[in-house]
A = this chain, B = another copy of it.
Amino acid sequence: MDLTIPEAIGAFAEEARRAVYAAISLRRDVRHFLPDRDVDTEVLERILGAAHLAPSVGFSQPWAFVVVRDRPVRERIRESFLRCRALEAARFEGARREQYLQYRLEGIVDAPLNLCVAVDLRPRAEPILGTTVQPEAVRASVWCAVQNLWLAARVEGIGVGWVSIVEPAVLRAELELPDGVEPMAYLCVGHPAAFRNKPMLEETAWLPRRPLAEVIHRDRFRG
């Protein structure tokens, strides 16, 4: 697939706009992966390349992508997930707890690979432009990269599932992250069994989708 980008595009045609909105609309958090189907090397490279094109404060490009295939490592990370899930389940009551425990919330070992997206906060020779009063802009850049990655994966037909139910300390130890490099997102990546029509938690009525009008405010925050 030739994905060469013309030097400058004046405007996106309607079909191209539609494709971008479709990717945004059809992106899903995937937890069921096809067994024995790996992610093509070139596809993975394109997806990571998309992440690397994210905006970053002061052009700091503070991200690191650890491609995790090692199975024992992933099994230990999954054990952390199981501990955290038990801890979290206890915070829900009765029927909600039952519902919580029925959800499949990860595909750590089933997916052909995992990706730990990390931020490199180690001191640099010079301050990062734009971080003096908002140092958290460095982390923000990394999460923008995650969204780029997720959308690129979607159009490549690759599923991505974000596991936030895992201890950062376990990720640091297993992936040998040095001091100052922090895990920001732990992702399961592979060919999905399917892309759901709606997010699982919406489809199963865990929570409703908020109306758009509710999240838009004019000049001042209300409510």
Contact = CB atoms under 8 A, between A and B. Distances in A.
Interface string A144-157: 10111011101111
Interface centre among A50, A66, A209 (most CB of B within 10 A): A66
Contacts of A96: 126
Given A63-B215, A147-B148, A5 B21 contact: yes
A201 interface: yes
Contacts of A18: 1, 3, 16
Interface centre among A14, A48, A131, A212 (most CB of B within 10 A): A212
A82 interface: no
Interface string A169-192: 000000111100100110000000
A67 B66 CA distance: 37
A107 to B, nearest CB: 15
B1 A54 contact: no
Given A66-B219, A177-B221, A100 B73 contact: no
A201 B129 contact: yes
Given A48-B212, A118-B221, A144-B146, A132 B5 contact: no
Interface of A: 1, 3, 5-9, 11-12, 14-27, 29, 45-46, 48-50, 52-55, 57-61, 63-70, 73, 84, 87-88, 91-92, 96, 100, 105, 118, 126-127, 129-134, 136-137, 139-140, 143-144, 146-148, 150-152, 154-157, 162, 164-168, 175-178, 181, 184-185, 195, 197, 199, 201-202, 206-207, 209-210, 212, 215-221
